[in-house]
Amino acid sequence: MDTTFLDARGLDCPLPLLKTRQALRRLAPGALLEVAATDAGSARDIPNYLGQSPHELVRRDEDEREFRFLIRRGEEESD
């Protein structure tokens, strides 16, 4: 299965989270989304959102420059 890449580097909070949510909505259930972000708030915001959603945080990596998240799209979520 291919992985869709979302480049949210350089975007300030709350844009990395908002762009992640938008990207997940465009994917089919089970699809993978890899997100790269540089905003420190995304290290907290994206995992918190995923914990309250049907999506799965498969992997999380970070270094001194960026945060990376690999997310598996869950079933439909209600807004």
In sequence order, which residues have a C-beta less than 8 Å from that of residue 16 and are 6 or more positions away?
8, 35, 37, 39, 41, 42, 45, 46
Average pLDDT over every residue of 24-49: 97
Q: What percent of the chain has pLDDT over 90?
A: 90
**Is 13 an annotated catalytic residue?**
yes
In sequence order, which residues have a C-beta less than 8 Å from that of residue 37 and are 6 or more positions away?
8, 9, 11, 16, 46, 66, 67, 68, 69
Average pLDDT over every residue of 9-26: 97
pLDDT of 39 above 60:
yes
Which of 13, 18, 27, 36 is an active site residue?
13
Q: Which two tokens stand for residue 70?
A: 């690999």
